[in-house]
Structure 1
Amino acid sequence: MIELLLPAAALANGLCAGVLVGSVLGVVPYYRTLPEDGYIRAHAFSVGRYDPFQPICLLITLVADAAVAALADDAAARLLCAAAAVLALTVIAVTLARNLPMNRSIQRIVPDAPPDGFRARAFLRRWARWNALRTALAALALLINAAAIGVLL
């Protein structure tokens, strides 16, 4: 069973981390080049494109890593997969508590008539900070999953 679960965790984790790294390296810098109305349109357009892909990848990572942590005979593999599962859970928590509410709020904004007080650059800075955090956590989980595979080889 572990021979199926750990590769599934690593694959799902890698896909999730890859998408997040792509957003840090390409999407956020692109957003920074746009005028306010263009940024609102672009962000609102892109946020729904990753559903349900990202949540499914995160859940597979979490469940598969937790299962390996519970089932593995090797103590190092158990510890590594438990750590990766905790990191995946933390990515989910950051997403649900920070990025998702911000994504939903920007989807409600009319680009040509943003609400009084809305500042696109400040909004993007806050969103990008949380996105960078979850990216780092997902990448660290992937590194830990790779180490777990190495331990079990």
Structure 2
Amino acid sequence: MTGVALPLALLANGLAAGVLVATVLGVVPFYMTLPAPSYVRAHAFAVGRYDPFQPACLLITLAADVLVAVAEPRIAVRVLCAAAALAAGSVVVVSLTRTLPMNRWVKAQNPDSLPAGWDMEAFRRTWARWNGTRTWLAVLALVLNSSAAVALL
């Protein structure tokens, strides 16, 4: 089981963490330079591409890590994969409770007729902070999964 599940966890986790790190390094700084209508257009455009991919990778990571944590006889690998599952699960929770509602709100807006009084700067900072939180949780899961793989050597 570990021979299939752990490589799958590493692959899916690496892809999810890579997408999130790329967002922190390139997309968020770009978003911060945009005027409100352009920001809404860019954010809505990106959300439609990242959201189907990144959650699937995280759910695969979570499921694969749980499988290894339950089935693997070596305690170090079990503990590392259980911790990785917890970190990946935390990314899912932050995504579902924080960034996803914000993404849906942005996607529903008309860029040419934004709500009066909308504080775009505060919105962007809040979204960037939560996105950063889930990014580092995904990277933590990847470090834990990588450590589990090394422990098997």
TM over 0.5: yes
In the TM superposition, residue 92 of structure 1 has moved relative to its aligned partner by 0.3
Q: In structure 1, what residue type is equivalent to 2:49?
A: R
| Paired position in structure 2 for 1:137 | 137
In the TM superposition, residue 86 of structure 1 has moved relative to its aligned partner by 0.6
| Paired position in structure 2 for 1:77 | 77
Number of residue pairs the alignment of both structures matches = 153
Q: Deviations over 1:64-112 (max 9, x none)?
A: 0000000111100000000000111100000000000000000111112
| Paired position in structure 1 for 2:107 | 107
Cα distance in structure 1, aligned partners of 2:51 and 2:107: 14
Contact preservation (8 Å) 1:69, 1:81 = yes
Is it true that 1:28 corresponds to 2:28 in the alignment? yes
Q: In structure 1, what residue type is equivalent to 2:27?
A: V
Q: Which runs of 5+ in 2 are unaligned?
A: none
Cα distance in structure 2, aligned partners of 1:95 and 1:117: 26
1:1-153 equivalence runs, <5 A: 1-153=1-153
The more displaced of 127-136 and 111-120 is 111-120
In the TM superposition, residue 150 of structure 1 has moved relative to its aligned partner by 0.5
The more displaced of 15-24 and 115-124 is 115-124
Q: In structure 1, what residue type is equivalent to 2:13?
A: N
The more displaced of 13-22 and 47-56 is 47-56
Q: In structure 2, what residue type is equivalent to 1:101?
A: P
In the TM superposition, residue 52 of structure 1 has moved relative to its aligned partner by 1.9
Moved over 2 A (4+): none
Cα distance in structure 2, aligned partners of 1:102 and 1:79: 34
TM-score, scaled relative to structure 2: 0.98
In the TM superposition, residue 113 of structure 1 has moved relative to its aligned partner by 1.4
In the TM superposition, residue 51 of structure 1 has moved relative to its aligned partner by 3.2
In the TM superposition, residue 58 of structure 1 has moved relative to its aligned partner by 0.6
Q: Which runs of 5+ in 1 are unaligned?
A: none
Q: Provide the secondary structure at the position in 2 that maps to 1:52.
A: helix
Contact preservation (8 Å) 1:40, 1:120 = no
Cα distance in structure 1, aligned partners of 2:117 and 2:93: 28
In the TM superposition, residue 4 of structure 1 has moved relative to its aligned partner by 0.7
Cα distance in structure 2, aligned partners of 1:125 and 1:26: 15
